[in-house]
Structure 1
Amino acid sequence: MNRFDVEDFIDRSRISATQIMALLVCVLVCFIDGFDIFMIGKIAPAIAADFGETSEAMTKVFVYQQIGLAIGAFSIAPLADRFGRRFMLMVSCLIFGTITIGSIHAQTLTQLAVLRGIAGVFMAAGLPMAMALISELTPKRKRSTLISLALVGFSTGSAASGVVAAWLLDSYGWESGFWIGGLVPITCAVLLFLIVPESLKFRAERNPSDQRIATTIRKIDRNVDLRGDELFVIESGGAKGRKAKLSDVFSEGRLTMTALVWAACTLSMTNTALLSAWMPTFFLEMAGVPIQDFAKVAMIGYLGGVAGTLSIGWLMDRMRPALLIACFYVMLAVTINLLGWVPFYSAFFVVALLTWQFFQTGGQSGLNTMIAQVYPPRMRSTALGWAGGAGRIGGIVAPIAGGFALAQHYSLQLTLALTAALPLGTAILMFALAYIRRHEEAKDREPVTLAH
C-alpha cells in the first residue's frame, strides 16, 4: 500500500478554509469556557443577595464548580484520545449548555452549587480538546501562534462575562449570564457536527486505513494526489494504530516533565481560580469598590490578556518555552502585589490591571501551548486534560482560602501579597523545567563514541 504521511502533509500545506472554520469554532469553544469560569465570580455578590445569603455563602458554589472541573479534566478529556476530539467536544458542549440553562431554575444556593459542579465536569473538557484539535489540524510552523489565537477566545470570554456584571445585571438579573453560558455551547455542538472535521492525526493513529482521512485531506488540499490505496501514517507513529493509555504521560522519560508541568498547573490555576472567583468581591468588601465599577475596568484589562496571549504564542515559536513562561510568572507575582497598593480610581490602576492580565493570561496560555506541543498526538488530549485536572485540585482549595480571607477581614494588600506566592512558585518550577530540558538537549547532542 502507498504510505501517506499525514503529519508531513499538514506541516507543508497552506492554511485552508476547512482549517480556518475549525479554528473559529474552537475559538468559540474557548470563548464560552472563559465566559463561564469567570462569570460567576463577577456576579457572585448579586447571586448571593438574590438567594438571601452573604457573599461568603458563594464559597460552596465555587468549590462545587472546581470539583466538577477537576473530575471532568481527569475523566472526560482523556476520552477524546479514545473516541475522538470532535465527538467528545460535541457531547461536552451539548450537555454543559443544557445544564447551564437548567441552573436558572435552582431554588437554593446549594442546588445551584450542585448544578454548577455537574456542568463543570463537561466544561473542563472544552479547552483541552479544542486545543488538541487545533494543534493537530495546523502546520507546525504556525502552531503556537494559532493556538494562541484560539486562546484569545478564552480571554474574550472572560471580558464578555464582565458585560453581564456591568450592564445586564441590573436589567435582566444574574440569570442573563446563564442564558448566554448555555446557548453558546449548544451552538458550538451544532457547528462542530456540521463543519469541523475530526483530527487527521487521531484517525491515523487509531486506524491508518480509515478512508475518512482521505475525505478531509481533499478538503484541505483539492490538488493532493490520492490513489485510494493509501495507508495513512504519522512520522512518529508508523503504520500500526496505537491506543492511548493514561500511563503514557509518565512513560518514555516523561515522568519528571509531567510532574513539573502538573505542579506548575496546580499553582497557576489555583491563582486563577482564586482571583476569578473572589477578585470583584475582594475589592467590594476590602476596598469599597462596587462590582459594576470593577467589571467595567476589568473589561479594559481584557486587552492586556489578548496582548499577553498573542505575545507568548509568537515568542514561543522563537524562544525556549519554559524559560519564557517562567519570566511571565515572575512578572505576574509583581503585578498582583501592585494591584493592592494602586488607588482603584486612578489611571495607573488601569495600567496595573492591563499588566496583570497580560502576564496572567499570557502565562497560562503559554503553559497550555507548551503541553500541546511536547506530548505526541495519541496522548495530547489526555496530557492537557490531566494537567488541567491537577490544576483544578488547587482550584478547589482556592475558593475556601478566599472565603477565609473575607471572614478574617484581611486587608486587600495582605490578601494579594499572599496570592502572589502562587505565580512565584510557578516560575520556580518552570525555571527547573527549562534547566532540565536544556540539559537533556545538550546530552542528546553529545557525540557517540564507539568502544574498540
Structure 2
Amino acid sequence: MPCSPRVDVNTFLDNRPMGARQWLVVVLGFIVLAFDGFDTTSIGFVAPALIDDWGITRQALGPVMMAGLLGLAFGAMAAGPLADRYGRKSVIVGSVFFFGLWSLACAYAVDVTSLTVLRFLTGVGLGASMPNTATLVSEFGPRRRRSHMVTGIYCGFTIGAALGGLGSEWLIQHFGWRSVMVVGGVLPIAFALVLLATLPESIGFLAQHARFKSRLLRIVNQIAQGIADNTTVFYSSEEKVQNKSSVAALFAPSYRLGTCMIWVTLFMGLLTMYLLSSWLPLLSRDAGLSMGQAAVIGSLLQVGGVLGNFTTGMKMDRWDHHVVVGLTLLGGGLSAVLIALQQPTMEVLCPLILLLGYFINGVNTGSYALATQFYPTAMRATGVSWATGIGRFGAISGAGIGALMLAANWSFSQVFLFIFLPSSLGVLAMIIKGRHGHSSLKTATQK
C-alpha cells in the first residue's frame, strides 16, 4: 500500500474493517469494566454478611455505600481533564491499579469508619477508569459501529457485577466476606500490568501533539500497514476547540444544552441503578426471600443489563440516539411499576427483574455512547468523564434514598413505584435534547 501524504485521523477508521488492534482495545476495555463492575457492586453483595459479622444495623452501611459512590464521582471528574492532557492510556492504567490496591485494603477494614474511607479511595479509581475506557474505545471505532462498541464494553461491567453476586455467595460461604475484597483487589492489580504492556493510546489524542508522531505512526501502520511514513501529515477534520481541556468548554453555546440534558439523564439513570444495585439483595431478603435467592435476584438485574448494554448500541447506530435512550428510560419505569404490582416471589421476580435490568442498564450505557459522539476529541474525555461524575451524584442519591426508604420501612412495592419518577424525568431530558440538540452531535467551534 502506498503511503498517504495526508491522513485525517477523524475519519481514518470509518471506511475500514475492524482490525486486530481495534479488537484488542475492545477486549481490554471489556475486561477493565468487568473488574470495575465487580468492585463497584461488591459492597452490596457482602452487605448481609457484613451486617451479621459486625452486628450493625442496615442503616449503618449507608455511609459506606455513599462514600464509594462519592469517590466514583470525584475520580471521574478529576480524571477526564487529565486524560485530555496526558492521554487516555496512562489514566486508565493508573486507575485500574489504584482501585485494585484499595479494594485489597478493604479486606483489612476493622469497622464502619475505616471501611468508609477505604471504599471512597476505591471509588476514586473506579470512577476514573470507566469513562476514560469508554472514550478510548470510541476513538478506536468506526463511526458506523461506535455506539455499539461503547455499549458493548459496558457488558463487561454488568457481567463483572453479575459474577460479583454469584461469586460473592460462594466466596463468603467458604472464606468469609473479606475474600471478596481480596479477589477484587489482586486481579485488577495484575491486569494493570497487562494494560501497561498492551493497551495502545488513542490515535486522535496522539495526533494533537507533534511529540507523539512516532507513536502515532506505529499505531496507524498496525491498523493499516504501510499507509504512513515520516513525511505523512496527520490532521483532524474536526474544527478546533479552544481551551480544549477546560470544563468551561462544555458550556459553549453549541454544547450547553446537550451537556445539561446528558447530565440529567445520567443522574436519573444512575440514581435508579444504584438504588437497586446497593439495596436489592436486602430488599429481597426483607420481602421474604432467602439470602441465596436475594443474591440470585441481584445478579439477574445485572444479567438483564448485559442484554440491554449489547443491544442499546446496536439500536443507536441504526436509529436516532435520543429516541432510543428515551424509550429505554420509559421501559425501565414501566417495568418497575409492573414489579410493584406483583407479589415478590422468585417465579414472578426472576423474569421481571431481568427485564428491568435490561432497561435501566441500557439507559446509562446509551447515555455514555451519546456523550462520546457529542463531544470532539479535544474535550471528549472531559465531557464523558464529567457527565459520568455528575451522574455519580445520582448514584449517591440512589444509595442514600435507599437507606432512607429502609429506615422508613418502605415496602418492596413502594420502592419500585418510586423508580417511575426518575425514569420519567430522564425521558423529558431526552425529549428536550432531541428537539433542540441535534446540531450538537456535529462538531462545533469553541468561540
TM-score (norm 2): 0.93
1:321–1:370 CA contact under 8 A, matched in 2 = yes
1:248 corresponds to? 249
Assess if the C-alpha contact under 8 Å between 1:30 and 1:153 holds in 2.
Answer: yes
Aligned counterparts of 2:247 and 2:300: Cα–Cα separation in 1: 41
Secondary structure, counterpart of 1:210 in structure 2: helix
Matched ranges for 1:9-408 at <5 A: 9-207=12-210, 210-222=213-225, 224-237=226-239, 243-285=244-286, 287-408=287-408
Q: Is the Cα contact below 8 Å between 1:67 and 1:392 reproduced in 2?
A: yes
Residue type of the alignment partner of 1:3: R
Give the superposition deviation at 1:140. Answer: 1.1
The letter for the 2-side match of 1:181 is G
- In structure 1, stretches of 5+ residues that fail to align are 445-452
Letter in 2 for 1:413: S
Does the Cα contact within 8 Å between 1:43 and 1:291 map onto a contact in 2? no
The residue number in structure 2 matching 1:6 is 9
For residues 379-432 of structure 1, the C-alpha deviation after alignment (integer angstroms, 9 at most, x for no partner) is 111111111111122222322221211111111111221232111211111111
Structure 1 residues 108 and 242, CA gap change in structure 2 (3 angstroms):
same
Q: Does the aligned pair in 1 maintain the 2:282–2:294 contact within 8 Å?
A: no
| Conservation of the 8 A alpha-carbon contact between 2:87 and 2:201 | yes
Letter in 2 for 1:12: N
Residue equivalent to 1:449:
none
Distance in structure 1 (CA, Å) of the matches to 2:340 and 2:242? 54
| C-alpha distance in 2 between matches for 1:5 and 1:67 | 39
How many pairs does the alignment contain?
439
Q: Alpha-carbon deviations, 1:269-297, whole Å to 9, x = none? A: 11112111111111222x12223212123
SS at match of 2:343: coil
Equivalent in the alignment of 1:448: none
Structure 2: stretches of 5+ with no match in the other structure: none
Q: What per-residue deviation string (whole Å, max 9, x for no partner) do you get for residues 60-113 of structure 1?
A: 101111111111111123211111100111111111111110111111111011
For residue 42 of structure 1, report the CA deviation from its aligned partner.
2.0
Measured in 2, the distance between the counterparts of 1:210 and 1:138 equals 20
Matched residue, 1:450 = none
Residues 17-51 of structure 1 show CA distances to partners (whole Å, capped at 9, x for unaligned) of: 12111111100111111112222112212112222
Q: Is the 8 A contact 2:329 2:424 kept in 1?
A: yes
Give the CA deviation at 1:440.
Answer: 8.1
TM-score when normalising by structure 1: 0.92
Between the two proteins, what is the percent identity of the paired residues? Answer: 28
Going from structure 1 to structure 2, the CA distance change for 1:168 and 1:440 (only over 3 Å counts) comes to closer
- 1:208–1:231 CA contact under 8 A, matched in 2: no
Contact 2:297 2:349 in 1 (8 A): no
Question: Quick one: structure 1 residues 241 and 254, their matched pair in 2 at CA, closer, same or farther if it must change by over 3 Å?
Answer: closer
Q: 2-side partners of 1:349 and 1:168: how far apart?
A: 25
Q: CA separation in 2, counterparts of 1:10 and 1:72?
A: 30
